[in-house]
Chains A and B, each alone.
Chain A
């Protein structure tokens, strides 16, 4: 009878597609909004992941997240280096500074200053130039994706060329992407692009500019405290957790492994902003829309077939057989609807890959969507099953 249950489901094409669309739309909304949420939240700590080969981040204990550094005294670096078990420690500057382009337009940029000697904390992928070029005078390396959209140069200005005195550019004129050799100003100080890099999109979505630590603090507004963090590598055989505890004990600064620091940053955004609530509402809406559309459609489908279920019951089908048929119909509709929704989300994700849209589908997300669709199907089928259980087979002799 189960084969016939499937034929009954597929045979009523209007309702079948309605159920499929309802479940597909629900799983699409749930998975897509969850993926965008995860993608967006991942950006809040993306910078931490960009800095490789670091065992510990050392920062001010009152700091909430990576993009809001509480500057440390310059002596913090030496104090950390003095802790037993530290193989090396490097300073890191991170701050938002204003870049001025040749046409006079201004853009806020995320400037990262890495250790002059070791260049530790540099970008993971270099598109043009060499990391060592950062040691050249006024050298900076810019992140290519955001810069292509936000650090736009006048097309008439050749790469590396300096505007002639008194030369004025039309702000609305044709533009080109930033290239190696171009000159920009950071806080009215000259900076020359010596390389292009790729790195993960960050939450602030400002172009990231890498330079050396010593140069970065000349770009930054004058202050007694400018160091954002200290990057620490543990000596061989040293447990990073124990080392973190020692650093905290001896310096009063907080030290966390990259993963814990990322989770601290994520926790801030989750607690202090309305982002989870907003996305949670969208995801809940997807669920309720699924219940409303698919549930209603499935219920109507069962109601339409109730007289046939009644006939089957009269002919000797057990209630369990009929419930199995309804459950199978719900399961098949659920699997197909889920596949439809997840397929659409995957296509959306592939289309969004490499773009500005935050999208990250963790393996848990399809499982969550599947769980939600399962709940929708159970809710829809339980109501329908109740009608089947209560069905009086003698009703088949009643007139139309």
Chain B
């Protein structure tokens, strides 16, 4: 297995997610695809970490594993001190419900539900009553500039508004880990910057972490660190001002 040396994060806030030699293979025999070949990475608490790299390098597999959606085949991983590999399926689902917020590239807003109902889903899953959850959702939507849109159908909103609804859904239950998949792909530069600023602000607590998979170099400067992936491994982590400077010739 090809592995890279552990990459120090030098994070002042401590480590939220720790991965060592994490590997994942899909399929068997001659059809096997080694998506992760031994990832070593520390994701700091209280920071926004971006995962970049060419298509097929394993970014989606990696965020799926650290969010508890996929199991690893080998290696070690802890998320806020919890080894997700030891959790049964139902406990893992409960952990995701309580600890993880997701922002999907395709938004995945349910068109038959109102905007506020979509946002309220994580709270309802935690057992909150629909009425109370929708009230909280409307309050959060107001802070995101969507005041009065709670009763609207998601499909009647612009792409940017839908993305903010998706962000509200990811944040409403105040998750410790926020996982974002191409959160700015549908947004123009200005809106993308505002959305990412909002997301980054949510990471500024010692018991929080934000991981963003992106190809959008317009937002690199907002990252606290950028992990570069290539062919199933993290081959470089850039921090601070370095993070805004991709290697010459690299296409993030």
Contacts and interface: CB of A to CB of B under 8 A. Distances in A.
Given A316-B122, A398-B60, A11 B93 contact: no
B105 A7 contact: no
Interface residues of B, number: 33
Interface stretch (B8-16, B96-104, B221-229): B96-104
B111 interface: yes
Contacts of B69: 314, 392-394, 396-397
B113 A7 contact: yes
A308 interface: yes
B117 A314 contact: no
A7 B112 CA distance: 6
Contacts of A8: 110, 112-113
A10 B97 CA distance: 26
A78 interface: no
A303 to B, nearest CB: 15
A7 B153 CA distance: 12
A311 B70 contact: no
B90 interface: yes
Contact of A312 (B112, B125, B126): B125
A7 B94 CA distance: 24
Interface in A1-25: 1, 3-4, 7-12
A7 B117 CA distance: 10
Interface string B143-164: 0000000000000000000000
Contact of A314 (B89, B96, B98): B96
A308 B108 contact: yes
B114 to A, nearest CB: 9
A315 B122 contact: yes
Contact of B110 (A4, A10, A314, A394): A4
A154 to B, nearest CB: 67
Contacts of B95: 316
A314 B112 contact: no
B64 interface: yes
B176 to A, nearest CB: 13
A315 B97 CA distance: 5
Contact of B113 (A4, A314, A316, A318): A4
A399 interface: yes
Nearest to A311: B108
Given A1-B124, A11-B112, A11-B113, A307 B97 contact: no
Given A4-B113, A11-B111, A397 B104 contact: yes
B112 A307 contact: no
Interface string B14-42: 00000000000000000000000000000
Contacts of B112: 7-12
Given A3-B130, A11-B112, A11-B113, A315 B104 contact: no
Contacts of B181: 397
Contacts of A394: 60-61, 64, 69-70
A317 interface: yes
Contacts of A315: 96-97, 100, 102, 121-122, 125
Contacts of B67: 314
A316 B96 contact: yes
Chain B interface helix/strand/loop/mixed: helix
Contacts of B108: 307-308, 310-311, 396
Given A7-B112, A316-B93, A311 B124 contact: no
A212 B111 CA distance: 76
B106 interface: yes
B141 to A, nearest CB: 17
A4 B60 contact: no
A396 B90 contact: no
B7 interface: no
Interface in B118-138: 121-122, 124-126, 130
Contacts of B126: 316
Contacts of B219: none
A400 B125 contact: no
A317 B64 contact: no
A161 B193 CA distance: 103
Contacts of B105: 397, 399
B74 interface: no
Contacts of B113: 4, 7-8, 11
Contacts of B191: none
Contacts of B70: 394
Nearest to A315: B122
A43 interface: no
A313 interface: yes
A314 B125 contact: no
Nearest to A4: B113
A93 to B, nearest CB: 70
Contacts of A399: 105-106
A312 B93 CA distance: 10
Contacts of B122: 315-316
B63 interface: yes
Interface string A278-315: 00000000000000000000000000010110111111
Interface in B57-80: 60-61, 63-64, 67, 69-70
Interface of A: 1, 3-4, 7-12, 305, 307-308, 310-319, 321, 392-394, 396-400
Given A307-B108, A315-B97, A315-B122, 20 more contacts: A1-B124, A4-B113, A4-B121, A11-B112, A311-B102, A313-B93, A314-B69, A315-B102, A316-B94, A316-B95, A316-B98, A317-B125, A318-B94, A321-B125, A394-B60, A397-B60, A397-B105, A397-B181, A398-B60, A399-B106
17 contacts: A4-B124, A8-B113, A308-B108, A310-B108, A313-B93, A314-B67, A315-B100, A315-B121, A316-B95, A316-B126, A317-B97, A318-B94, A396-B69, A396-B108, A397-B64, A397-B105, A399-B106
**Which 9 A/B pairs are nearest by Cβ-Cβ distance?**
A316-B97, A11-B112, A311-B108, A394-B64, A394-B69, A316-B96, A8-B112, A308-B110, A397-B60
